[in-house]
Structure 1
Amino acid sequence: MTQTSIGTFVEVDTTAGRVRGSWRGEPGEASASAAFLGIPFAEAPVGELRFAAPVPKAPWEGVRDALEFGATAQRGDPGVTLIPEPSVPGESTLNVNVFTPAPATDAALPVLVWIHGGGFFAGSPASLWYDGGRFNRDGVVTVTISYRLGFDGFGWISDAPSNRGVRDWLLALEWVQENIASFGGDPSRVTIAGQSAGGGAVLTLLGMESAQHLFQGVYAISGALADVTPARGEKFGRELAAAAGVEPTVAGFSSLSEDRILELQKKATELGPDSLESMIKEGLALGPSIDGELLTRSTKESLAAGVGADKPLVIGATDDEFTMAFAEAEKKLRWIPKGMMLKKLGMPKPELKPYLAANAEVARKGTAFIAGRFLTDRMFRTALIKIVALRGDAPTWVYRFSWPSGTFGFAEHCIDVPFFFDCLDSIKITELAGPNPPQQLADEVHGGAVSFITTGEPGWPRYTAAARETKVYDTPSTVVADGYASVRPILDI
């Protein structure tokens, strides 16, 4: 391993060639770290490679600048995320960003690999919220990765490799195994983490036998599993091809521009009032799919079979992930009886009274709030409890993020991300969290993550079937028994 410092620059050798990153702070200072941005781990997925499995990046000559974020798979602003995740134009969209306090040393620091969310069709690793500087301060090398999104990454095509986005994750993690030591990281101490679709990604990887050598721990934030069934995936692919007037083949889809596929994809996945319930029941149409090759069964079935049982897992969600879906209509919804609204969202009659009783405090706030809580429970929190139960005695820690945003008045989707990264001083925090969000809570959430990445334990008791101990992040934070008790009336629907 060799390092060259030139002013604020630092150069490191990777398996494909030398890269030039930049120091933040003076090299040698305790608070200094270096950023290497936009390092390609695969060839650009264009032309013949557009719908192919990712191909490792060919070696280059000389020194490659890694000073700016690489191109992103996300195009434009889909308007679906509360996190500032910019789109960067360009073709070479399969990149990693490495943040490290000890480039080209033998520091062997623990490593965090972050997979962004965005419903598997949006999102970007170029967010300032995902900067690894604060984790670097605490002795953790941080890597953020990109992957193909939407139909290009996950759509069924009759003669193309399945799960192309999943294959991108795997190749990026292989890159980490081969190269992270050159950046001061330890490839045998890798924790994968992600939020929303990224949380679903790391749970998917936890359930994959073929991925077990690539990481040692998992931190799933508001994880949304896809596990698209073969029939659903093929139906979506054929319908998209028919709408475009092409055959559902590589040749057919390759004849369509990127913009045209994005247009068709958006139209096919738009949610209206009548499609919300079917989305709740059937899940996402684009995402990791059970293909019989990479994913031979659902993630839950794999976890029940003991896959990943040796890996420590931290898993949790916010209290009101999707309450925003109803918040704007709060005044109108107050005239709709709570029971009628919940039945419309799929609540069976026998579960209605027990659920309302278990969530009486939320129900008192009105129809919009109880509808949002029910949608949150159906989409996130029931799956979380089931995943924990399927892991049995495997080392698992459970949390809830309950602190209510000063902007929204409840703990909405994405609110916990800036606390995890300890970046409450970053851009666009007020829009999500309100003015003056509590730094003490960020210290707790971020500190627990650092502890887990470093030691394998986040600092509160493991979850057991008997005690069901749950960390509740709030002001103040507590540890309670069965923190998800309010969800249990609907576990079987």
Structure 2
Amino acid sequence: MTAVQTDPVVSTPYGAVRGRFEHGVAVFRGIPYAAPPFGPNRFRPPLPPDPWDGVRDAGSFGPTPPKPPYSESFAQYLSDPDVPGDDCLNLNVWTPEPGPGARLPVMVWLHGGALTRGSSGMPVYDGLPFARDGVVLVSLNYRLGVEGYGLFPDAPANPGLRDQLAALEWVHASIEAFGGDPARITLFGQSAGAISIGALLAAPQAQGLVRRAVLQSGPPEAAERDKVRRMVRRMANRLRIPATAAAFADVDRELLLRTQAEVGRLSSPVVGGPAFGIVVDGDIVPRDPLEALTDGDAACGIDLMTGWTRDEYRLWLVPGGLLERIDRLGAVALAGAMARCRVGADVPRGYRALHPEAGTAEIVGQMVTDHLLRLPLHRLADARPGSSYVYEFAWPSTLPDLGSCHALELGFVFDTGEVPESRKLAGEGAPKELADEMHRAWVRFAQEGDPGWQSWDDSHPVRVFGDGPTRTAYGPRDAELALWAAAAPVPPGESAPAPALPDGSPTRGTELRSVVRRLRLPGTVRRH
């Protein structure tokens, strides 16, 4: 007679939780790590959850933080489940061996979504393959948009980042009971999740909580405070209220979300615009995270893996036909990219010389990608030779025009390419052997601190996945990035002169100001 496997029960600092066994793995969903961030807690730092008596059921995903849906043009590629409820600061755990004593490596996942969208409940982020391979996987929700990253005179900055820190502290204190080793925690995330990791690695309050980190398509950075303030002020103007946390806390959540979506409609990585972001606050973010990680002693002894997709920009430009619109704008779009990146005409001329077959949209897209992402990640690896590993994901989606776009690697890293939500971006026929290889590298990094290829040094080794057999390329982006080293950028805070077009003719200010309007951006997609 076959024994019936009972549901797993684990004790946490706030009470016991009952999970489920699924395919031999114990899964706990929707565990609160902080109190609901509403009522008197709205726009405030997270507080511990109220303890509970008895055993709390942890069989389903918990509520997701308030967020607007993706616009129709992006929803065809990206899924974002919405679970109603106030108790949205929750996390999930997948473990092969619940109970103390196993001391398995732990991976904590921070989702992307431009700090305005996303959740831990995405099927692409299923932790079962990691637990199957001997890793305790944790994923979590955190406050988004104006609730998590609005900048107000009467409330602390970065409450969403503070949520992530609270979750990380919960994991460090509680994960041993789930079979994890609190001394072997790897923090990994993509896009806005990776940007968050950069800030957490540099945060004084997070020192000692993380052993390793993976930054996928997102560099350490701090947003300009005025850029975030403009986003809040524009929302306040539409709502006809003061730009204060007290006033925003009285606004209905749905109205706030609609207003946020309307105000953020013209924001994108390519053309900029007001957007939410992590800001220097003198506390949890005492200085720019990239500066702290490259010229200070922040996060000393932490192994790093960083990387990008070959065609990041295509997820920003293909939905809604932006690729074709930028190609039609031609020189004006190039001038807009120069203003966005604060460089002169030598940089786009250099890209043209290196890629004579490329269209304007590809030149603009790769320029902005290098400026926002590859340059800072190179700088981060340069500051930590011997303990940094760099990759490039190059497999192209089978869907038209997407190429190796932003977020495409996620189904491969999680080994969840078979779920419909992965196929929305990858199309049909994603190679399982590539997923096996990438997933194995991430697991090995969590276990050993070495994903299986040469660490960063002066030869700039980059592991290339998906462009034929997996290989190590040396300096594959060096020629493009050298163009930036030779350029004379305008320092932040100073006014950039109106750039000349790559053909030498001057631009008119009205041309640059009209680029955003002429693109007719369909929705917010700052970063996935």
Give the TM-score, by structure 1 length.
0.90
Partner residue of 1:23 out of 21, 24, 37: 21
Deviation at 1:76, TM superposition (A): 5.4
Structure 2 Cα separation of the partners of residues 235 and 331 of structure 1: 30
Partner of 2:63: 71
- Structure 2 distance, partners of 1:76, 1:217, is 32
Aligned to 2:385, which of 393, 396, 406?
393
Residue from 465, 470, 492 that aligns with 1:473? 465
Residue 318 of structure 1 is matched in structure 2 by 309
CA contact (8 A) 1:323 1:376 kept: no
For residues 85 and 374 of structure 1, do their structure 2 counterparts lie closer, same or farther at Cα, with a shift above 3 Å needed? Answer: same
The residue that corresponds to 2:188 in the other structure is: 193
What residue in structure 1 maps to residue 336 of structure 2?
344
Task: Give the aligned residue type for 2:30.
Answer: G
Query: CA–CA distance in 2 between the matches of 1:370 and 1:349?
Result: 12
Paired residue secondary structure (1:467)? coil
- Mapped to 1, the partners of 2:79 and 2:315 lie a distance apart of 17
Query: Are residues 334 and 255 of structure 1, via their aligned partners in 2, closer, same or farther at CA, if it must alter by over 3 Å?
Result: closer
Q: Identify which of 460, 482, 490 aligns with 2:484.
A: 490
How much does 1:326 deviate? 3.6
1:386-423 Cα distance to aligned partner (Å, 9 max, x none): 3323x243611111111111114510011000100011
**Matched ranges for 1:34-433 at <5 A:** 34-75=26-67, 77-79=69-71, 80=74, 82-271=77-266, 277-279=271-273, 285-303=275-293, 304-327=295-318, 328=321, 337=330, 340-346=332-338, 348-358=344-354, 360=355, 363-389=356-382, 391-393=383-385, 395-409=387-401, 410-433=403-426
Aligned position for 1:29: none
Give the Cα separation in 1 of the matches to 2:276 and 2:28: 31
Correspondence for 1:28: none
Distance 1:147 1:296, change over 3 A: same
**1:83–1:127 Cα contact (<8 Å) kept:** no
Distance in 2 (CA, whole Å) between partners of 1:263 and 1:178 is 38
Decide whether the 8 Å contact of 2:63 with 2:86 is kept in 1: yes
Q: Look up the SS of the partner of 2:266 in the other structure.
A: coil
Unmatched segments (≥5 aa) in structure 1: 26-31
1:457 is matched with: 450
Code of the aligned partner of 1:290: V
1:329, distance to aligned residue in structure 2 (A):
5.0
Is the Cα–Cα contact under 8 Å of residues 415 and 436 in structure 2 kept in the other structure?
Answer: yes
- RMSD between aligned residues: 2.2
Question: 1:330 and 1:227 mapped to 2: Cα distance?
Answer: 28
Contact 1:452 1:458 in 2 (8 A): yes
Secondary structure of 2:435's partner? helix
Cα gap change, 1:333 to 1:252, in 2 (>3 Å) = closer
Inter-partner Cα distance in structure 2 for 1:343 and 1:470: 31
3-state SS of 2:208 partner: helix
Q: Structure 2 CA distance, aligned partners of 1:73 and 1:131?
A: 19
Q: How many residue pairs end up in the alignment?
A: 472
The question of 1:447 aligning with 2:445 is answered: no
- 1: distance between equivalents of 2:40 and 2:182? 32
- What displacement does 1:297 show? 0.9
What code does the residue aligned with 1:189 have? R
CA contact (8 A) 2:96 2:134 kept: yes
Deviations 1:265-295 (A, max 9, x none): 222222179x95344xxxx631211111111
User: Are 1:471 and 1:483, in contact at CA under 8 Å, matched by a contact in 2?
Assistant: no
Q: CA deviation at 1:370?
A: 2.8
CA contact (8 A) 2:290 2:376 kept: no
Q: Indicate the SS of the match to 2:119.
A: coil
Deviation by residue 1:355-411 (Cα, 9 ceiling, x = unmatched): 2223x1xx525333333322322332222223323x243611111111111114510
CA distance in 1 between partners of 2:353 and 2:289 (Å): 32
Q: Larger RCO: Structure 1 or Structure 2 (Cα < 8 Å, ≥ 6 residues apart)? A: 2
Give the aligned residue type for 1:18: A
* Deviation for aligned residue 1:426: 1.4
Query: Partners in 2 of 1:329 and 1:148 — Cα distance?
Result: 29
- Any unmatched runs of 5+ in structure 2? 490-528
Q: Is the 8 A contact 1:318 1:413 kept in 2?
A: yes
Contact 1:326 1:371 in 2 (8 A): no
- Whole-angstrom distance in 1 between the partners of 2:217 and 2:399: 20
- Kept after mapping to 2: 8 A contact 1:110/1:189: yes
Displacement of 1:228: 2.2
